[in-house]
Amino acid sequence: MKTFELHLPRTIDEALALLERPGHAALAGGQDLLTELKEHIATPDALVDLSGIQGADAIELRADGSLSIGAGVTLAELEKHAELARRWPVLTEAATSIASAQIRSQATVGGNLCQRPRCWYYRNEALSCLKKGGTECLAYGGMNKYNAILGGGPSYIVHPSDLAPALVALDAEIEIASREPRGARRRIALASFFTLPAEGDVLRENVLAPGELVVAVHVPAHAAGNWRSTYLKFKERSSFDWALSAVALVARIDGARIAEARVVLGGVAPVPWRSKAAERVLAGRPIDDSAAREAGEAALAGAEPLSGNAYKVPLTKGLIVKALRAIGGRS
Amino acid sequence: MSRFPVLLQDEPKTPPAPGKKWQKVTVAENGQEVEKWIEVDAAATETWPARSEMRLLNHALPRVDGPTKVTGAAQYAHDMRAPGMVYARFLRCPKPAAKILSIDTADALKLPRVVAADSLNVERTSYLGQPIAVVAAETPDAAEDALRALRVEYGELGWVLTHERALADGAPQVFDKKPKEGESPSNRVAERKRGDRDASRAAVEAAPFWTEQIYSLPVQHHACLETHGLMVDFRGGTEAVVHASTQGTFTVHGDAAEALGLPGASVRANVQHMGGGFGSKFGLGVEGQWACELSKRLKRPVHLLLTRADEFLFAGNRSGAVQKLAGGMAADGTLLGLSAEVDKLGGVGSGSYPMQPYVYKVGQSYCAVSRVHTNTDSARAMRAPGHPQASFGIESLIDELAYAAGLDLLEVRKKNLEDTVYHRQLERAAREIGWFEHPHRSRPGSHQAERAVGIGFAVATWGGGGAPTCQVEIRIQRDGSVTTSCGTQDLGTGTRTYMAAIVAEVLGLPIAAVEARIGSSEYGSANPSGGSTTVASLAPAVLDATFQARARLFELLAPALQTQPESLRIGVDGLLDTGSGRRLDWKQACALLPAEGLRTNGQWKEAFQGRGVHGAQAAKVEVDTLTGHVRVLKMVAVQDCGIPLNRLALESQINGGMIQALSYALFEERILEPWLGAALSADFEGYKLAGTLEMPELVPLIDDADTRQVVIGMSEAAIVPGHSAIANAVHNACGVRVRDLPLTSDKVLMALEKLRTQS
Ligand SMILES: Cc1cc2nc3c(=O)[nH]c(=O)nc-3n(C[C@H](O)[C@H](O)[C@H](O)COP(=O)(O)OP(=O)(O)OC[C@H]3O[C@@H](n4cnc5c(N)ncnc54)[C@H](O)[C@@H]3O)c2cc1C
């Protein structure tokens, strides 16, 4: 990898001051960034190591039922938190589904949300794809088994994060710190943090401006009621793998019926893909396969598979059926 | 190894010397299995003890070097360090084929800690990732930087990466060879033919049930945990040690000496532990050549172990195959005809394939094998070269015909297998997997079941015989210590353990009392470990050395005990003089030896080993029809091997075969970008290996009904049938026939979707 300078700031402000300089990149658990450095896909001059920043790694459960997760919390900490598992199984299941135990012990929430695409064209140093400033998405007419069926164009990556669909399904907000005006913090819906390639800068996957940092994600308290949730991820290889498709389902149950639901898909689009159409189908329906099948049809109605990924359509429909069964069997 | 053995000679016409007979043996030469005729003793006096009397052999022996491996104390070539050592790395050509117009090393040589940068002087590359330059530096990072500082000017050449493109009209030619008169150039080269094509096709088409299908398999990688390479410890003196990750201790040091410009006797190869080879690690290789070259010039030790990407791109692979098979079956299940046209995909090499029909007997058969070149690295031998490919073709075809004829899949196999050992093994596998309770044995299960369970079968064959290649020394010291040594190597198969166990068995000692020394070219010669020929070459020589050591012990002790050698016996109770009834324990007995102790040299004995193993496997899978996910629930392997020297090691080899086959069935596949000419699976993210969660219940069964009192190698056989059994089980479960491995969920799901829309 290219030789770099390493900075170890103790506060967010120090970090932000460093990140303002050209060629400086934030380093969290390094599980993604180090790979990019080793393969010369990212070539920063300096790394700003966030691991020493105080207070960035807290999980806060508030009395009002809301939850805040510091950007520096590791996936392993998230996965092991018993109260989280009880109240937000979708989040625990998403965290547990990621990579391997070794990687989860290092990888952070902030890094997971900001990680770069895994598309093999992007990750191959020798190839110049749209995501690296090239002129076309090589996956579009190429080997696209793992690429997007929804929301694609001009780039067809899928967003690699498993936490993202789960958090979007929980209506989470993301807190961003920037330097100007000094100490500014903004909170936006996580759903609007991620950008479709057709809408945002195709070189990036979110609205984070250079020099900005993610400091936390905030999950609002659920309205009163009986909430159930699950994250169902399908991996080609169970032992550890990326999602071929995933469903984050969060629902409020009223008696035997679904009062309201969030359906967010992972592994099928350049962003965590919320399907309001599927949510509308589910609202007011009993938890059964026919509701799930209709929701699946609605969610995938706009799918435009590429030459090698049509399987993602029936796969995702199947996962929606399974996800609904999973919450049906849960109290 | 790379095909059914190549028979080089006919049986000699001249009569053998008195007391000798002619015997056909198999030797592995450069990873290829070759048959030869040699003279052997007509009769052996004493042979292996009866299995019922064995105390150590035929039992489960934990490997003697297990503790050093699990504690990390075992040193592999990768671990070797020496003062002043430098790290070398190759630059790979990023194109499948290119002219190398120039390589400028000046910038690289200016970098700190960089000590060498050389062009390999390749004018035209012929495969993706071919090494074209080498650098050496004092740290691995500096070597990586040096690679990036090389300035290479490439010239365009045409190339092809896939079977389809290689055979397209006007395809660029991998080799620019002049075609024969009247022929146009082609990347397809016909190799072998057997049988009458027209008669076989006629037999197929006249059969009541017949089909023609294409069965294909991807290129598989050896995926050795330790990459290829070595550390050459030469510091400018008169001697060198080569620490190599190799399957042949003696395949390295000779060429290394030549490359270093040293006398052969001054270079020693050291192979104490090696991290997997599976057929890919013979000889010095381009890495060894350059490590020696650089070491000679720099007068410094050189560490040249390939990177994982190097390993995936130029360290060999199992050739892919595209097999067009047409088969015909009678109503009673008899295979009446088979026509096979097979393309091997061995890159710039040849690849491997035994002929069809593989194992099964067919009335009229025809088989033509060609190779189709692409601009990828040459295939190398890989565990049972060619057999898994042929197995997948014939076993799939038999299943398809059996379903068409409405016959039981187990009975159909037995019907077409002449050797009844297979009947016994298949029946045992069937019982163990639950075949006789399985609800659908002659038709597939329904794709409408959400969790569809199916069972499949397949069989194997292998040689596994030995040859007179090993010299084994046994030394017994006056303090009672015993060593057995041979320069052979242990690929993880447990060589040290059985070497010690054989000696201990015969001398009545505990296994810990015998030290096995291997992995040095200073010890007695040994064959490279290829084609499962190690055990049948080595174990006989160990047994012979032990018999000789015992005889020599009796000779030396008899005078001191005032008795005759013939009246001495040795066993777990020590030494017994049957004349006087006097007993000495082992230490007391050895104390009577002369100061230099005793030494013997053992030779291979034909009668101590045999050849020819079978093997049957069954797999049970569950298909999730909502997602296409295939979960292997259970695999059973029944394997013969003559005398089971170490039951634990055997079971471990059988398990390893099943696991490798499972991984091949479900995931493994070299993925190349056919239009841009890039490798997409040159790491363990893109090249998927089965992991812990994929592991089914594994039932390795040693076929004890094989009572041959000889030692036979079997490791290759264990990898042959598993993937075929899994593919057949998937079809049996839900009616989906995937004819191109791997059986990834996307293919299974799309096939299920097709069935759903049809019904
Ligand atoms: C083999 C393997 C398998 C994997 N499988 C999965 C999987 O199945 N599902 C999944 O979701 N992920 C998977 N991952 C990705 C892994 O979860 C991420 O790499 C990890 O979460 C990144 O976190 P990190 O803390 O290591 O981030 P880093 O690698 O340190 O950073 C990643 C990126 O985020 C930026 N960044 C980090 N923190 C911040 C911050 N606070 N503010 C702004 N920018 C920031 C960095 O600059 C960098 O660009 C896998 C990774 C590997 C190596």
Query: Low-confidence residues of chain A, pLDDT below 70?
Result: 182, 330-331
Q: Compute the C-alpha angle B352/B357/B359, nearest 5°.
A: 90
Q: How far is the CA of A106 from the centre of ligand 1 (A)?
A: 9
pLDDT of residue B8: 59
Residue range B2-19: average pLDDT?
A: 69
- Given B305, B328, B344, which residue is the final one in a domain? B305
Q: Locate A189 and state its tokens.
A: 């819906």
Q: Given the structure tokens 């050459």, which residue do they identify?
A: B232
Contact (CB<8Å) A310/B750: yes
CA separation for the pair B738, B17 (Å, rounded)? 56
Residue B376 placed within a domain:
no
Question: Which chain B positions have a beta carbon within 8 Å of A237's beta carbon?
Answer: 666-667, 688, 690-691, 694
B744 & B648 share domain: yes
B440 & B523 share domain: no
Interface test with B, best of A40, A116, A124 (most B CBs within 10 A): A124
Shortest distance, CA B625 to any CA of chain A (angstroms): 9
Q: How confident is the model at residue B29 (pLDDT cuts 50, 70, 90)?
A: low
* Any ligand 1 atom below 6 A from CB of A30: yes
Using CB atoms and an 8 Å cut-off, which of residues 629-648 of chain B contact chain A? 629
Contact (CB<8Å) B680/A120: yes
Q: How far is the CA of A113 from the centre of ligand 1 (A)?
A: 7
Residue B175 placed within a domain:
no
pLDDT of residue B2: 37
CA separation for the pair A26, B567 (Å, rounded)? 83
Contact (CB<8Å) A1/B626: no
CA separation for the pair B49, B506 (Å, rounded)? 8
H or E stretch at B151? strand B151-156
Residues in contact with B23: Cβ distance below 8 Å, sequence separation at least 6, in sequence order: B37, B38, B39, B40, B606
Q: What is the pLDDT of residues B342-356, one digit of tens each?
A: 999 999 999 999 999
Instruction: State yes or no: pLDDT of B242 exceeds 80.
Output: yes
Going by DSSP bridges, is the β-strand pair B472-476/B482-485 parallel, antiparallel, or unpaired? antiparallel
Interface test with A, best of B627, B631, B695, B755 (most A CBs within 10 A): B627
Interface confidence: ipTM more than 0.85: yes
B440 class by beta-carbon count within 10 Å (0-12 exposed, 13-18 middle, 19+ buried): middle
* Any ligand 1 atom below 6 A from CB of A213: yes
* Any ligand 1 atom below 6 A from CB of A90: no
pLDDT of residue A115: 98
Contact (CB<8Å) A314/B678: no
B632 & B743 share domain: yes
B64 & B85 share domain: no
Residue B518 placed within a domain:
yes
Peptide bond into A89 cis (omega under 30): no
CA separation for the pair B488, B271 (Å, rounded)? 9
B588 & B709 share domain: no
Shortest distance, CA A240 to any CA of chain B (angstroms): 8
Q: Given the structure tokens 């000094």, which residue do they identify?
A: A182
Residue nearest to atom 38 of ligand 1 (CA): A111
Q: Locate B243 and state its tokens.
A: 């620490």
CA separation for the pair A252, B583 (Å, rounded)? 85
A191 in Cβ contact with A42 (< 8 Å): no
CA separation for the pair A218, A171 (Å, rounded)? 9
Q: What is the pLDDT of residues B716-742, one digit of tens each?
A: 999 999 999 999 999 999 999 999 999
Q: Which residues of A229-268 are buried (b: 16+ CB within 10 A; e: fewer)?
A: bbbbbbbbbeebbbbbbbbbbbbbbeeeebbbbbbbbbbb
B746 & B655 share domain: yes
* Any ligand 1 atom below 6 A from CB of A26: yes
B422 & B498 share domain: no
Residue B494 placed within a domain:
yes
Residue B359 placed within a domain:
no
Handedness of CA B239, B244, B247, B252 (dihedral sign): negative
B696 & B723 share domain: yes
Closest listed residue to residue B333, CA positions, set B360, B356, B355: B360
Number of domains chain B is built from: 3
Q: Compute the C-alpha angle B486/B492/B497, nearest 5°.
A: 55
Residue range B314-332: average pLDDT?
A: 98
User: With an 8 Å Cβ cutoff, is B449 touching chain A?
Assistant: no
Q: How confident is the model at residue B25 (pLDDT cuts 50, 70, 90)?
A: confident
B341: left (phi over 0), alpha (psi -120 to 50) or beta: beta
Residue B215 placed within a domain:
no
B451 & B470 share domain: no
Residue B351 placed within a domain:
no
CA separation for the pair A276, A174 (Å, rounded)? 21
CA separation for the pair B214, B212 (Å, rounded)? 7
User: With an 8 Å Cβ cutoff, is A329 touching chain B?
Assistant: no
Supply the range of the domain harboring residue B285: 77-157+228-305
Residue range B652-664: average pLDDT?
A: 98
Instruction: State yes or no: pLDDT of B5 exceeds 90.
Output: no
Return the CATH number at B93: 3.90.1170.50
Return the CATH number at B492: 3.30.365.10
Question: Which chain B positions have a beta carbon within 8 Å of A40's beta carbon?
Answer: 148
B29 & B149 share domain: no
DSSP helix/strand/coil, A306: coil
Contact (CB<8Å) B694/A239: yes
- Given B553, B580, B608, which residue is the final one in a domain? B608
Q: What is the pLDDT of residues B520-571, one digit of tens each?
A: 999 999 999 999 999 999 999 999 999 999 999 999 999 999 999 999 999 9
Question: Which chain A positions have a beta carbon within 8 Å of B676's beta carbon?
Answer: 127, 138, 142
Residue B663 placed within a domain:
yes
pLDDT of residue A90: 98
Say what angle helices B647-666 and B722-734 make with each other, to 10 degrees.
50
H or E stretch at B53? none
B612 in Cβ contact with B465 (< 8 Å): yes
pLDDT of residue B1: 37
Q: How far is the CA of A187 from the centre of ligand 1 (A)?
A: 21
Closest listed residue to residue A215, CA positions, set A95, A50, A7, A42: A50
Q: How many other C-beta atoms lie within 10 A of the C-beta of residue B189? A: 15
B453 & B602 share domain: no
Answering whether pTM is above 0.90, one says yes
* Any ligand 1 atom below 6 A from CB of A161: yes
- Given B247, B274, B305, which residue is the final one in a domain? B305
CA separation for the pair B561, B576 (Å, rounded)? 10
Q: Which residues of B542-578 are buried (b: 16+ CB within 10 A; e: fewer)?
A: bbbbbbbbbebbbebbbeebebebeebebeeebbbbe
Contacts 24+ apart (CB under 8 A), B177-185: none
Residue range B699-703: average pLDDT?
A: 98
Q: Compute the C-alpha angle B20/B21/B25, nearest 5°.
A: 120
Backbone angles phi, psi at B283, to 5 degrees: 80, 180
B559 & B705 share domain: no
